[in-house]
Amino acid sequence: MKRGTLKIGTNYAASALWLPHILPVFHREYPNISISLEQQNSLLFERDLIKSNIDMAFTTQSASSANLIYEYLSSARILLFIPANHPILWGTNLSNNSIDNILTIPPEALNNQDFVLLHPTDGFGATVSALMECSGIHPANVMYAPNIVACYRMAASGMGITFATPYATRYTLPGIVPIIAELSTQTVYEHNAIAYSCKKSLSSIEERFIAITKSKLLDAPLLQPLSSPQWAKLKTLPHDSSGYYEFV
C-alpha cells in the first residue's frame, strides 16, 4: 500500500491537541498516503467503523463495544476546573494550586452550581454525566458546549464549572487560569484508545500509524499536561484576547 487514503475518526480533543504532532511524523514516512479526518462524537464512531466508512477512530473505552478492538493509548484522571473567583472557593488558599497540588472538593459543594459540559451524547459527556449522577451532584444550570476546548475556556472565564482531564491544561489562555480540583469521594479515569472493527485486519500502514501515535503520546512534551512551573507562569501573564501562549 504505497498510495491510498487513511480515514480516521477523531474527536475534537484529539484533532486539536494530538494530531498536529502525530500526522507530520506519519506523513514524512508515507507522503503518498492521504489522510481523511471525520470529526464527530465518540459514540457515533462504532457505526462508521463497522460499515468501513472510516478505518479507525480516536475514542475512549468508557463505553466499549464488543464490535470493536481497542488499542490502548493513555489514561487520565477526570478533574474539575473551577473559575478562580467562584464563591465555593472563597476563603481557600489557592496560591499553589496546580496539577501537582490539586484542591479537593466534596460533591455536595457542587450542588446548585452552574456547569459547562459536553452533551451526554458525547463519549466523554456520557462519562461525566454518569459520574455526576453517581456522586449526587445536581447542577443549577448546565450549558452544553460543542467541544472540550469551549467547555474548558468558558469555565475558566467564569461561566461555570467543568470536568476535563489534565490534558485540558494545554488549552489555558494567559490570565484566565482556572482552579484545578478533584472530588473527595472518588477518582475516575478516562481511558483513551484507537478503535477499529473486530472484523478488520490492519494493514502495515495502519499498524504504523498506531505505533507512531503511541510513541508521540509517551515522549512529546507538548502532548503532556502543563507542569506546575508552567501553570504558575500562566498566572502571571497578562491576558491578551487575541494571543496564544504555548510552552515547549
Q: What is the mean pLDDT of residues 18-27?
A: 93
**pTM of the complete model:** 0.83
Does residue 143 sit in the same domain as residue 89?
yes
- Which segment of 55-64, 136-145, 172-181 scores lowest on mean pLDDT? 55-64
Pairing of strands 141-144, 103-105: unpaired
The tens digit of pLDDT for each residue in 178-216 reads 999 999 998 888 888 999 999 999 999 999 999 999 998
CB 245 within 8 Å of CB 226: no
Q: Which domain holds residue 180?
A: 76-189+230-236
| Per-residue pLDDT, 190 | 86
Please provide the distance, in angstroms rounded to a whole number, between the alpha carbons at the two ends of the chain.
Answer: 35
- Whether 246 shows a pLDDT value over 60: the answer reads no
C-alpha cell at 58: 480516536
| Per-residue pLDDT, 128 | 93
Paired with 34 in beta bridges are 5
Does residue 110 sit in the same domain as residue 59?
no
Assess if residue 210 is contained within a domain: yes
Assess if residue 247 is contained within a domain: no
Does residue 139 sit in the same domain as residue 163?
yes
